[in-house]
Structure 1
């Protein structure tokens, strides 16, 4: 639903657009009798099937985290025939809850819980499926089942009737070797079954469905290879549910999602062998693609902003890795830059003293010596999204480089603020080389919480500004940049909703710098 705000590589989108794998009757499966597999859920967007899932109690469905890209809005329970859906009794609105460390399928952790808007009606048509009680290792060659409404063959169509197939468990080391032959390393915490040594397996549209062994859901359908569901080829890959039991149990005990549905810098930047040959297994609808590419804001320049004059905002820093800009940041002393904690990837240096990233020389680049994430930071959804970067040397303050003051105490921020960055100029990119700035209005925190409430609870210690009731705000690539009010950096760009910078939608969210002054001052004092 929400995305950490940094450069969304077009290559990553093209991975979805051009390399989508399709499939066959879950491949070479059979129709499921109506009185079996009563836990199966069709995860849907605007009334259409996008992924599979399975009911684990009256309130939660498990599916794959990568299905969140298709903006699931509801699940259907109680029918195997998607042409026979009673919206009043079978359809449930959902709130998504991805695993906190999920980045993309190639990194693993491809698991998500969907909280139902009301209790599921358990009965002759709907029953939950049990999970393993503890971590388990399914025996090699065990006969398990996988089910879904996926494509009926490579290049085929989604089916309306639920299909099931028996698949053998593949030895994990053998699975790694088979994927290794195509120069790909599998992520941790997976199970391999089907697709190899058999003509049976899963395909697109089956993502998120269960791998069922001995009556328990032990895996979640994650990915296969490229466009090919014409098995055998390499083994199908599932997320190993038993590795995620503590997280699942915590959410079920709280009876609510832990608000962690935010993309991280790694997801934006992931370009590996898997980007060329693997696909999350769901039907790629044209509608969500257009949401990325076609529904962008008409304006530009940090959304509907303008180019920052060279003699202004001299504190702005471009936080980079060896390939270029990842996040924004701002200089608060001669040897410290403040940015967002979620930007902690493989960043190596910052660029200071220029607004034009095409005109960077060695004098503009300062290596990062140490990174100080806030000690309580876990993910953007839980807050504390703030990080100090200790530079390898003190910078010379001059007509091109200056620091920006922070608030001296907790403050009640008013209107008349600005946000700047080198991020996307519209939904779907591209990023810009010239620094852009836009004026944004502060949004009452209670109003902000109310606007976000249908998506989840906001973390503490934040400021909301722009994006709501206005066409102006920040976008991917602006993460870590400052919210500047009355000449002081009062906020750090943290997140918006679902990579959607086509404002207005919900308010943009910033970390409130004033809440972290003791922590900031303590670190700065250590180096004096």
Structure 2
């Protein structure tokens, strides 16, 4: 079944669809739309070589993030795959570039297969299990990020600081602010009780939530699927936030808890 648009930061409003038509005109900018981390700072790909840029439907502005976990495997959000017109066939993965659209070098790979968690989109909690693994047609340019042990939770305890990465919007509601460069921001893991208060659908077994100390910062459209990194391991996969807008005060950012899916991810790594 469909998923509420309020949650998924890579499902764009009608205004953005109109913008996509405008992009076909000669005077239109080359990249426009989904969006980057609000706040934070730019960072070179060498500082996060496991980060992947995912292009949907051949459109530079329609994007998600991902994490290299093996030479030809990238973890991302399930809703990113669902947003592609033709599933895996509509996805391309760019690695090894700080500015994926403008830089040369690195690698551009086609996606030959996309595994989506079988329970994603199902009741009673269609937002849960928002995780996917992409298989590439060639090796990525970068280094795989370590996975946590299945069920490992101590490294994501409340109060722990994690680092997120993405190429999403830098200004809430303005699709023209999609980031050219990789951006990063630190967020603090919140107690499970606070996560549930922010969103009743929170499931502590499979989700994490975090927040930045200042308002109007966090991930936004185009960042979905990217990594939250703690202690050199994949801690979370960017999924949704608790507010109707990326810059809403007192918002919480929600991630799929990577350690809840380690065994499933490894199974996909072992599948050609």
- Give the TM-score taking structure 1 as reference length: 0.42
For the pair 1:509 / 2:254, whether they are aligned, the reply is yes
Tell me which residue corresponds to 2:144.
403
Using the TM superposition, give the Cα deviation of residue 487 of structure 1 relative to its aligned residue in structure 2, in angstroms.
1.3
Partner residue of 2:76 out of 339, 342, 367:
339
Q: Secondary structure at the match of 1:303?
A: coil
Instruction: Specify the alignment match of 2:51 in structure 1.
Output: 316
Residue aligning to 1:431: 178
- Alpha-carbon RMSD: 2.7
| Larger RCO: 1 or 2 (CA < 8 Å, sep 6+) | 2
Which runs of 5 or more structure 1 residues have no equivalent in the other structure? 16-268, 273-299
Unmatched runs of 5 consecutive residues or more in structure 2? 23-34
Mean CA deviation greater in 347-356 or 334-343: 347-356
Q: Is 1:518 the counterpart of 2:253 in the alignment? A: no
Query: In the alignment, which of 164, 168, 180 is matched to residue 419 of structure 1?
Result: 164
Contact 2:243 2:251 in 1 (8 A): no
* 1:2 alignment partner in structure 2: 6
Q: Which piece of structure 1 moves more, 6-15 or 374-383? A: 6-15
**Aligned equivalents of 2:105 and 2:15: distance in 1?**
28
Which among 12, 19, 29 is matched to residue 16 of structure 2?
12
Q: Which runs of 4+ in 1 moved over 6 A?
A: none
Q: 1:503, CA displacement in angstroms?
A: 4.2
Q: Could you say which residue in structure 1 is the equivalent of 2:133? A: 388
Task: Calculate the TM-score normalised by the size of structure 2.
Answer: 0.79
For the structure 1 residues 355 and 9, does the alpha-carbon distance in structure 2 shift closer, same or farther, using more than 3 Å as the test? farther
Structure 2 residue aligned with 1:157:
none
Match of 2:102 in 1: 359
Q: 1:433, CA displacement in angstroms?
A: 0.9
1:483 aligns with 2:228: yes
Q: Deviations over 1:182-218 (max 9, x none)?
A: xxxxxxxxxxxxxxxxxxxxxxxxxxxxxxxxxxxxx
SS of residue matched to 1:372: strand
CA offset digits 1:24-69 (Å, max 9, x no partner): xxxxxxxxxxxxxxxxxxxxxxxxxxxxxxxxxxxxxxxxxxxxxx
Asked if the contact 1:368/1:389 (under 8 Å) is kept, the reply is: yes
Counterpart secondary structure, 1:302? coil
Q: Secondary structure at the match of 1:317?
A: strand
* In structure 2, C-alpha distance between the alignment counterparts of 1:526 and 1:331, rounded to whole Å: 15
Three-state SS of the structure 1 residue aligned to 2:218 is: coil
1:458 aligns with 2:194: no
Q: Is the 8 A contact 2:215 2:247 kept in 1?
A: no
Aligned to 1:350: 93
Q: Greater Rg, structure 1 or structure 2?
A: 1
Give the C-alpha shift of residue 303 in structure 1. 1.5
* Gap change, CA 1:369 and 1:376, over 3 Å in 2: same
Checking the alignment, whether the CA contact within 8 Å between 1:381 and 1:458 is kept in structure 2 is no
Structure 1 residues 62-211: aligned runs within 5 Å: none
CA contact (8 A) 1:448 1:464 kept: yes
Deviates more, 1:462-471 or 1:364-373: 462-471
Deviations 1:119-154 (A, max 9, x none): xxxxxxxxxxxxxxxxxxxxxxxxxxxxxxxxxxxx
Q: How far did residue 363 of structure 1 move?
A: 5.3
> Does the C-alpha gap of structure 1 residues 354 and 10 become closer, same or farther in structure 2, counting only changes over 3 Å?
farther
1:220 alignment counterpart? none
Alpha-carbon offset, residue 468 of structure 1: 7.4
Partner SS, residue 4 of structure 1: coil
Q: For the structure 1 residues 433 and 10, does the alpha-carbon distance in structure 2 shift closer, same or farther, using more than 3 Å as the test?
A: farther
Q: Distance in 1 between matches of 2:18 and 2:115?
A: 35
Size of the alignment, in residue pairs?
239
The equivalent residue for 2:114 is: 371
SS of the aligned residue for 2:229 comes to strand
